[in-house]
Structure 1
Amino acid sequence: MYVVETLATESLGNRSYLVAGPARAVAVDPPRDIDRVLEAAARRGVRIARVVETHVHNDYVSGGLELARLTGADYAVPAGARVSYARTPVEDGDELDVDEGLTLRAVATPGHTPHHTAYVLHDAGVPVAAFTGGSLLLGTVGRPDLVEPRLTEDLARAQHASAHRLAELPDAVRVLPTHGFGSFCASTQSGGGDGEAATIGAERGRNLALTKDVDTFVAELLAGLDDVPAYYAHMGPVNGAGPAPIDLTPPRAADAAELAERLAAGEWVVDLRSRTAFADGHLAGALNFDGGLATYLAWLIPWGKPVTLLAETAEEIAAAQRELARVGIDRPAAAATGPWEGWLRDGDAPRSFPRADFAALARARAHAREGGAPPVVLDVRRDIERGEGWVRGSTHIPLHQLPQRLADVPEGTVWVHCAGGMRAAMAASFLDAAGRDVVAVDDTFDAAHAAELVTVPGA
């Protein structure tokens, strides 16, 4: 008997797995915060005997090396991966024992990276599950452009071949990918939640790589690739060198005077409160990340710049610290908790800005036609979203480009929007910190359509 436990990291769109037999277990693509893996193994009463990586990850810091060190487990990494630490190099066809009757068979599946390797779990010699990492995802495949631009087309073709190789497995074999649940490592939006069958048989009928010929697949795959988060450039080297153990000890406490000093030094002071609370009142110069830390803060911050965290409770600081450590932002410079007014020095003026919906934007535009000041509309969605429709007359600067392009935002009061409100709130905080008058549009883009504000391509 065996069981597969899924350890989801929703903020990164990734999943790791613990395969437990009666006494021993294997961890597949473990996260940086390995306490979750250790707790799962302890709960099931098994010893982690192996740790395996499908590839050197580009989107998060792996906990594999530290997990293997702490447990004494064998650490298996694809032989073609360039790493600087001792590990068991895995070649195509290698078999790794897990527990009595349980084995993993390595299957070379280049495409997401040149060395990518999937692992097929066999129970008493019968294949039952495939840990596909960044190769065969649910409905799609991992993107092939994270290694080297000159390799992208060749890797895209390799992804097609790798998917077809995995598709030779029996229909009932479960497909258990690492990426694809909102991860930017997926080449297109991945389907298949926990409630949907994820099997080789299901993928044969829906996966892009298995339903299109190679030339069509490659052309469509390359045409649909979007921007890569900037912090990805640092993840591969960190994982190749061997990540340091995670340190989640609380950061030092900062008072109002220190917060002011850090802001004056050009450091980032990040307010973790809800976007509603932040808009109502906040420390001047602070930036608001109500979610999206492991993706958008890591994408936007200049790598290595000190960051100080603000939150109402120590528990919120700890959760944010864990999120950031997963992507290599290891130690906040400082933190402050409690009522936000305590983050201001005596005499400091707080900042605030209004929130609105798309209906209010439509009314503001109607008022401008009667002689009022026209609102400046800033769209911070990604290019691929913009291509499906945009607010007429809006300026487009994707959120990840905004800190470097603040000077490109037209003069006037800026109504900033995204697709749902979270990124607009982040962008509004950057504009507010730069001294701009801003309105955060906290609304879904469907409401922009309903307000008849949107131009659709080809319409």
Structure 2
Amino acid sequence: MSTVDLVPLVDDGLGNSAYLVDLGDGRALAVDVSLDLRGTWQAARRRGLTLAFAADTHLHADFVSGARQLAATEGTRVLASAAGNREFAHTGLREGDEVDLGGLRLRALATPGHTHEHLSFLLLDGDRPAGVFTGGSLLVGAAARTDLVSPEQTEALARRQYASLQRLAELPDELAVWPTHGAGSFCSAPPGAQRTSTIGAEKTHNPLLRAEDEDAFVTALLDSLGSFPPYFLRLPEHNRRGPAVLATDPALSSVDVAQVRALRADGAQVIDVRPVRQFAAGHIPGALSIPLRPAFASWLGWLADPERPLVVVRSDDQDPAEIVWQAVKIGCTNLSGELTGGMTAWTAADQPTTTTRLVDADEITREHVVDVRQDAEFTAGHIPGATHVELGALSDIADALPRTPTVVMCGHGERAMGAASLLELAGHRDLAVLEGGPDDWAETTGGSLEGGA
């Protein structure tokens, strides 16, 4: 195993890992950092390190790269694929190029598949390989998806992904594998996987590395592809052009009730980030519920209209900085501000509110049940007779769903409340949200779930 002084910086919400490598001389290398650099700066300053290098393995689809921000504010040297044609200052690398980090060296390995220009970075200590940053090529137990460029190129990129993984499998078995995408990422990492691995462990346990041949690999990879947030399709070009450099930390401005009313009249969308129970007890009619939690950024990028101004409603104990940083790191810059005083100010101004009923499992009788979890979750076990619509697809078919008493459910309630708010916006009434998930239903009622092994 590697003895390199490496600090993983895990973003549980996006399911990704960035890395900070202590180069041993007061400087550091950062790999695949997002624009939310708070954790990177904290880790570097805690160790007294300056961020000398920032390497990006690919034009990230699921977050805005922080490399350009580091270059502008810290003088960091950006290392990235020359084939990415980035429009800002960087050192463009090609297959076999090496960068001297001062004792350690970084060698570029062309590993296309997840994206055309994808590089992996082999970290060398002298002539000894110490580890490999695999980005979106070899993951723990998987390989990253290849359908983010265009449907017409998905299979061809899958075949290139096969060749890239075969190439990485030729590295020493004991070599550390440091992927970017991990459990929770919509870039195809399996749930529950470890964040890092070794080449040998992946050759033994990764089903895609154990595929019989290229065709079997392609079939397995393409069959594993699920849905992904639409903002994924916008960010590669955003990262290629170069994200705007932030002069100061982003912040939510305050807007009062009258300003919120005016913004809504001009087409603004209200994003209510309060917990499920608070939203249920009373919210602005037409508000979209996206509770603030680690997965907030993904669902904001999936459900909110990128062309409309967004007004945030939060509770007093929720951190506005966390809200805005999660938005900024996925390229969401259309936040008009937050409602001053929250729902207390709204109701004090005699503005209309609406509620959403919360129900326990034993309260579901003859209601129509809509399960908004991902396909794999639904297939693993669901309430008999439930209609399945993934949350990300709900807006497209909301008008086609029956307008009968409906209970919306997910795994815990957060996505279900988001779905209920979308259905309410589409004119559905008599909606309720199940507190809990299918396992709670089975335990409470003694019923048996459909699906599963």
Q: TM-score normalised to the size of structure 2? A: 0.91
Q: Is the 8 A contact 1:140 1:190 kept in 2?
A: no
Deviation track 1:130-174 (CA, whole Å, cap 9, x = no partner) reads 111001110101111111222211211222221121122222221
Structure-1 separation of matches of 2:104 and 2:450: 56
When structure 1 is superposed on structure 2, of 421-430 and 39-48 the one drifting more is 39-48
Q: Is the 8 A contact 2:56 2:79 kept in 1?
A: yes
Q: Is the 8 A contact 2:64 2:235 kept in 1?
A: yes
Q: Is the 8 A contact 1:111 1:144 kept in 2?
A: yes
Aligned to 1:57: 60
Deviation track 1:260-290 (CA, whole Å, cap 9, x = no partner) reads 3333433211111110111122222222211
Aligned to 1:198: 197
Cα RMSD (Å) of the superposition? Answer: 2.2
Aligned to 2:134: 132
Structure-1 separation of matches of 2:347 and 2:256: 9
Superposition pairs for residues 141-180 of structure 1, below 5 Å?
Answer: 141-180=143-182
Paired residue for 2:124, among 119, 122, 125? Answer: 122
Q: 1:454 deviation in Å?
A: 3.7
SS at match of 2:138: coil
Structure-2 separation of matches of 1:307 and 1:232: 19
Q: 1:116 to 1:302 in 2, by over 3 A?
A: same
Deviation track 1:300-325 (CA, whole Å, cap 9, x = no partner) reads 12222111111123852211100010
Aligned to 2:268: 267
Q: Is the 8 A contact 1:269 1:286 kept in 2?
A: yes
Does 1:442 pair with 2:435? Answer: yes
Structure-2 separation of matches of 1:160 and 1:337: 52
SS at match of 2:155: helix
Q: 1:339 deviation in Å?
A: 5.5
Does 1:232 pair with 2:232? Answer: yes
SS at match of 2:39: helix
Aligned to 2:406: 414
Aligned identity (percent) is 36
Aligned to 2:254: 253
Q: 1:257 to 1:314 in 2, by over 3 A?
A: farther
Aligned to 1:9: 11
Deviation track 1:25-73 (CA, whole Å, cap 9, x = no partner) reads 2111111123432332222222222211101111111011121222222
Paired residue for 1:309, among 295, 308, 312? Answer: 312
Structure-2 separation of matches of 1:200 and 1:457: 31
| Structure 2 runs not aligned, ≥5 long | none
Structure-2 separation of matches of 1:46 and 1:316: 28
Structure-1 separation of matches of 2:314 and 2:307: 22
Deviation track 1:389-419 (CA, whole Å, cap 9, x = no partner) reads 4433333322112223321221122101123
Superposition pairs for residues 50-449 of structure 1, below 5 Å?
Answer: 50-99=53-102, 101-186=103-188, 188-193=189-194, 198-213=197-212, 214-246=214-246, 248-290=249-291, 291=293, 292-313=295-316, 316-338=319-341, 340-344=343-347, 346-361=349-364, 364-365=365-366, 375-433=367-425, 434=427, 436-449=429-442
Q: TM-score normalised to the size of structure 1? A: 0.90
Q: 1:303 to 1:384 in 2, by over 3 A?
A: same
Structure-2 separation of matches of 1:61 and 1:346: 38
Q: 1:453 deviation in Å?
A: 6.0
Q: Is the 8 A contact 2:250 2:325 kept in 1?
A: no
| Letter of the structure 2 residue corresponding to residue 170 of structure 1 | P
| Letter of the structure 1 residue corresponding to residue 228 of structure 2 | V
Deviation track 1:366-396 (CA, whole Å, cap 9, x = no partner) reads xxxxxxxxx1221212333334444333333
Q: Is the 8 A contact 2:417 2:433 kept in 1?
A: yes
